[in-house]
Structure 1
Amino acid sequence: MTTEDSTRTDSKRSDLLYTVLDRPPLYVTAVLAFQQVMISLAGSLAVSSFVADAACAEDDTDIKSRLLSSTLLMNGVTTLLMVIVGIRLPLYQGAAALYIVPLIAIQSVDPTRCLIPEGTSSSSNNSIVSYGVTEHPALNVLAMTKIREMSGSLMVAGIVHFAIGATGLVGLALRIIGPITIVPTVLLSGIYLSRAVTRFSKTHWGIAFATAAMAITMSIYLSRKNMPIPTWSKQKGFHWTRYPLHQMFAIMIGMLFGWGLAAILTATDVIPFDPKHAQFKARTDARGDVVENANWFYFPYPGQFGSPIFETGAFSAFLIATFISILDSIGDYYACAMICNVPPPPAHGVNRGIAVEGLCTALSGAMGCGHATSTQGGNIGSIGITKVASRSVFLCASIIFILFGLVGKVSAIFVTMPYPVLGGGMLVMYGMFTGVILSNLQVVSLKSTRNLAIIGISIVSGLMIPRWIETTPNAIDTGNLTADKILKVLLANPNLTGGIISCILDNTTPATLQERGITSWHPQLGDDHNDDDRNMSYSEGMEVYNLPFSVKWIPHKVLKYLPFLPGKKNNGEMFPMPQFTV
């Protein structure tokens, strides 16, 4: 290694204040852990709120509070397991936004899902009552039934998710899936999520755009500025230091600003106190009794909404989101390893991480969360800002999330957030999500007419077919109601149509691996891979991925059949990709 290479390596080593295996002082760990929690709260609230909406519990504050408590608890449990026995990188596991798309698809297929015949109550009138009337006794039963259907279907999807990781089957998928398949598939999710943003923002567009504008100002316009912060130390005493705090908490600052604006408009009665008014849910006191009525402590438990029900249509939709979530998580594993300056994750680490995510997805289903938990890329970015890669920080963050999930008042406070404030935060979050997905195209040859055609056809098809199902719900008629519903839910999901088309075209039309972007995602296929490995120096080695307990007591004959445990066969840098000859 040359002197220049050595200097570059030393600089990279010193770039991190704390590495993965380091243990920062307790006060540093606590502050950084709380920061990770605050970064993630807005996303968890958004996903949980939409689950409540999909379950016809939009105005049932008790159910919404219980859903959010369950979400926060599972965020903590999944993060704890991922750091201890999962891939063991500093990764936060939170509510997966990808699972919102299947819920939107289900809603579009059955627009009358939340309308209750009057005959189901004590009234004799046969008219239809909207679910917005919270006094209707059948509404709670309907919401509970919807959540139970989500729970049973999510549990089965989680079991499949776990099996894919535990058996190492994820390697087979990566043999045929590359950037040209992933980008249109996940991009369609980002586009489709605009429906959820609109649903919350439309109550007051002014507050929604003000919330988003503040978050954009903090994160983009002031991205090159550092905020002056008063600090004290024994060496310097009281002094000012500069830190990009506003950028790290941009979304939270924006939402607090929007909440304050809504409070002013509420106090001055600019937004009328009329439950039937379109802007009523923009008021801060629209659900003011929630905090007062909430219990101080609430312990979410499996089956809290009733026994899970398996619903074939919901399971089919969740299964699609599961496959996309797995691929997204693998990308996050590699990104985290890169930013922590450790070797790429071995096969056993990736398999174990996917298995833990699947196990916790099943547990989230049992809890009634209505969504899975998966790796959140935003928290990986915060490691690059703070320069602290210690997994002790994420262990502490998991404990904070568990405590938040058990304290009922915390969930109740966030449930009272005005709808347009939530919509403005979602606009920025999902907007950034879509932008990050598009960034994967940088490894693909955009000069190739083949690539452009595949991407364009996949996106248009992914938007066209769900629109057709939504506008002509009776177009599919097989004579079997169950089969009709499954087909409608599958075709209404843009991920399925766009993903299948892009995958088929990408693997059946002539192209080189470099043109497809495969060599960038799997450097072992490139010509310079071995040279890069020799010149690469890491802050820590493969011991980062070791389990906290020894597996030497397991016979090698057994160990080779357990791809989620370290062994000679499972220590490879990932999954070998075949050289396509088309």
Structure 2
Amino acid sequence: MPQGSINLTPIESTGSERKQQSQATQGVDKVNLSELNGGDEGSTSDLLYGVEDIPPVPVTIVFAIQVAVINVSFCVTMAVLIAGVLCADAETKTKLTSTTLLMAGIATILQTTFGVRLPIFQGPNAVFLVPILNMANFPEWQCPSNATLGTGYFNESGLSGVDGVEILSTSTRIQRFEGSLLVASAVHITLGASGLVGYVSHFIGPLTVAPTIALIGVVIIDSAIDLSSTHWGISIFTMLVVVLMTSYLEHVKVPLPAWTRDKGCHVSPYPVFHVYALCGAVLLGWLLSLLLTVTGMLTDNKDSPQFRARTDARLDAISSANWFYFPYPGRFGGPSFSLNIFVGMVLCVFMSIIESVGDYITASRICGVPMPPTHAINRGLLVEGICSLISGVLGASHATTSYSGMISVIGLTKVGSRLVFQLGGFCVILLAIVGKFSAVFVSIPDPVFGGLTIASIATLTGVGIASLNTVNLSLSRNYVTLGFSLILGILLPRWVQDHPSDIDTGSVEVDRFLVALIGNSPFVGGFVGFFLDLTLPGKRSTFQDIHQEKTQKESIVSSEKFAVYNLPWLPSRWFAGKWARFVPIVPSFYDNEIYPIQQIE
């Protein structure tokens, strides 16, 4: 064995062999893994089922259904927000929802099997809502009134003149999102396959990430207000249910039947309220809307905005929906390209990559495995790019990347089995192709979605601010950077929105490009934070020190722990050649059983 190399268990080794080697090095593994994850006591996994564990069939099915149910609410909420910009009717909303759920399931299976291979659920990324919602500021993207929709001025054949302004049809809007997303996804794929992310990450720190994530809510808030304004009472009630179940009842556990390998069948306390907060908020908000509808406290005038708060406002969507719907390419026509949308989506690609890398590291800590090596991160980003490309082909109008909200659920359920998430993705696919099921979610009253959106914005903003926990905010360079990035991230997009004609370069296309660029709040805030953090004197707050410490300690961690990131079903000898050292998505091998851990440089 060459000096300094690490003895790894081959991919094709049996489970019993891995178990024997694990027992032989158990004490060393735990100590070194804790060091690798930052020295936190809580970083050592106490999960009932680890990443590579296979729970009993009944347990796997129950937890897989739980994973699917928890994420359906988030996917449907994102689909409804996008459908609002598209001016979609109930039938189109149902199809968009089915496509969103289908891609969430497919992406989850691909990511957990071939990507980073950690238990991370995939779904529509809220970052990509920014360029979508920003398009509503342009006159041709304004939605016509319900009366106009009914008179045929807004049709599927193309542009229609309304009050002298040509308004884009729903199919045309989807086509433009499709084409722009396809090109932006190609950039995403290139970044993942080339391994550039490991290099770029050295220049990005918390003062760039925090304003980028926190300012996403600035863009989404207008849509949340529009949904909530149909009935603020129902919206606030739904929002308060989320706060109650996630915070006040977070530690309240309900005795439920359970099964473990040690105790068998028994009664165990379970944090039902915290785990099922979103589902519970939807059901209770829906129930309140039903009560107000039955008692006649909500208007039955279809021209009134309050009508959208009724539970029977979209019942026709359920009756008209097909029992089964299979999304397919070209459903809304061929893709077309829009420079404005493309610019916004490319910016979102970079922001989503930052978020995804953070999700990978967080998931590894919760699951008690080493931080992902470079090849696993690159492969995860590559899979996200491919899945976003497929989303564009199917007309989802959004990218499909990692869903941060599901990672905390792993710690609550104590289940991090890869198999559970793969089966959960399959359950979501089944729900997607049942058209009636998607139609039921589309019929949820608008103020319920409004309350959920407000709660999501608050949580997302908190996550962004929490990323500053390693930054010394007593230093003037740091609080000046943070303050200016947040203020300019709000001020400049608001100015562009109120005075778009002030940008006049003599070229309409250039003007719209600049409006789309400056009107993107997360990009403006992140760019200002990045520039000031890079140029102001003093010690920068970057993730580089973390990466350097990580690479110094990787060599003493049990090599078997890193096997969780290896590609499945492929013999290790396939990567024994020197060529593998130059392929960013596969581990670098010396021979068929010995290779050094690839490090982030």
TM-score (ref. length: structure 2)? 0.87
Greater shift in the superposed pair: 333-342 or 431-440: 431-440
1:275 alignment counterpart:
302
1:459-498 → structure 2 map (5 Å cutoff): 459-498=486-525
The match for 2:93 among 54, 64, 69 is 64
1:22 alignment counterpart:
53
The residue type equivalent to 2:59 in the other structure is V
2:104 alignment counterpart:
75
Question: Displacement, 1:385?
Answer: 1.0
In the alignment, is residue 130 of structure 1 matched against residue 145 of structure 2?
yes
The residue type equivalent to 2:150 in the other structure is E
The residue type equivalent to 2:54 in the other structure is R
Residues 5, 56 of structure 1: alpha-carbon distance in 2 compared, 3 angstrom cutoff: closer
In the alignment, is residue 52 of structure 1 matched against residue 67 of structure 2?
no
The answer (yes or no) to whether the contact 2:578–2:589 under 8 Å persists in 1 is no
Taking only aligned residues, the RMSD between alpha carbons, in angstroms, comes to 2.8
Identity %: 38
Superposed CA deviations along residues 86-119 of structure 1, whole A, max 9, x for unmatched, are 11111111111111111122222x145235xxxx
Question: Displacement, 1:311?
Answer: 0.8
1:476-555 → structure 2 map (5 Å cutoff): 476-513=503-540, 516-518=541-543, 522-525=546-549, 530=552, 541-548=561-568, 549-550=570-571, 552-553=573-574
Question: Displacement, 1:15?
Answer: 1.6
The 3-state SS of whatever aligns with 1:52 is helix
Residues 87, 237 of structure 1: alpha-carbon distance in 2 compared, 3 angstrom cutoff: closer
The match for 1:218 among 220, 236, 245 is 245
The 3-state SS of whatever aligns with 2:48 is coil
Question: Displacement, 1:312?
Answer: 0.7
Residues 55, 226 of structure 1: alpha-carbon distance in 2 compared, 3 angstrom cutoff: same
In the alignment, is residue 449 of structure 1 matched against residue 483 of structure 2?
no
Q: Distance in 2 between matches of 1:404 and 1:512?
A: 51
Question: Displacement, 1:62?
Answer: 0.8
The 3-state SS of whatever aligns with 1:229 is strand
Question: Displacement, 1:228?
Answer: 2.9
Residues 364, 6 of structure 1: alpha-carbon distance in 2 compared, 3 angstrom cutoff: closer
Superposed CA deviations along residues 173-225 of structure 1, whole A, max 9, x for unmatched, are 21211111111112111233222211211110000011111121111111121
Question: Displacement, 1:7?
Answer: 14
Q: Distance in 2 between matches of 1:261 and 1:52?
A: 24
Residues 533, 449 of structure 1: alpha-carbon distance in 2 compared, 3 angstrom cutoff: farther
Greater shift in the superposed pair: 552-561 or 392-401: 552-561
The answer (yes or no) to whether the contact 2:86–2:174 under 8 Å persists in 1 is yes
Question: Displacement, 1:496?
Answer: 2.1
Provide the aligned length of Structure 1 versus Structure 2.
Answer: 553
2:135 alignment counterpart:
106
The 3-state SS of whatever aligns with 1:242 is strand
Question: Displacement, 1:555?
Answer: 6.8
Question: Displacement, 1:335?
Answer: 0.5
Q: Distance in 1 between matches of 2:369 and 2:533?
A: 32
Q: Distance in 1 between matches of 2:93 and 2:466?
A: 35
Q: Distance in 1 between matches of 2:470 and 2:427?
A: 38
The 3-state SS of whatever aligns with 2:319 is helix
TM-score (ref. length: structure 1)? 0.89
Residues 230, 465 of structure 1: alpha-carbon distance in 2 compared, 3 angstrom cutoff: same
1:342 alignment counterpart:
369
The residue type equivalent to 2:548 in the other structure is Q
Q: Distance in 1 between matches of 2:596 and 2:181?
A: 31
The match for 1:417 among 441, 444, 451 is 444
1:575 alignment counterpart:
600
Q: Distance in 2 between matches of 1:176 and 1:523?
A: 12
The 3-state SS of whatever aligns with 1:145 is helix
1:88 alignment counterpart:
117
Superposed CA deviations along residues 516-550 of structure 1, whole A, max 9, x for unmatched, are 15356x25248xx857985x779x61110010113
Residues 233, 366 of structure 1: alpha-carbon distance in 2 compared, 3 angstrom cutoff: closer
Q: Distance in 2 between matches of 1:236 and 1:442?
A: 39
In the alignment, is residue 38 of structure 1 matched against residue 69 of structure 2?
yes
Q: Distance in 1 between matches of 2:193 and 2:332?
A: 29
The 3-state SS of whatever aligns with 1:94 is strand
The 3-state SS of whatever aligns with 1:134 is helix
Q: Distance in 2 between matches of 1:362 and 1:11?
A: 37
The answer (yes or no) to whether the contact 2:227–2:447 under 8 Å persists in 1 is yes
Q: Which runs of 5+ in 1 are unaligned?
A: 116-128, 577-582
The 3-state SS of whatever aligns with 1:279 is helix
Q: Distance in 1 between matches of 2:554 and 2:465?
A: 26
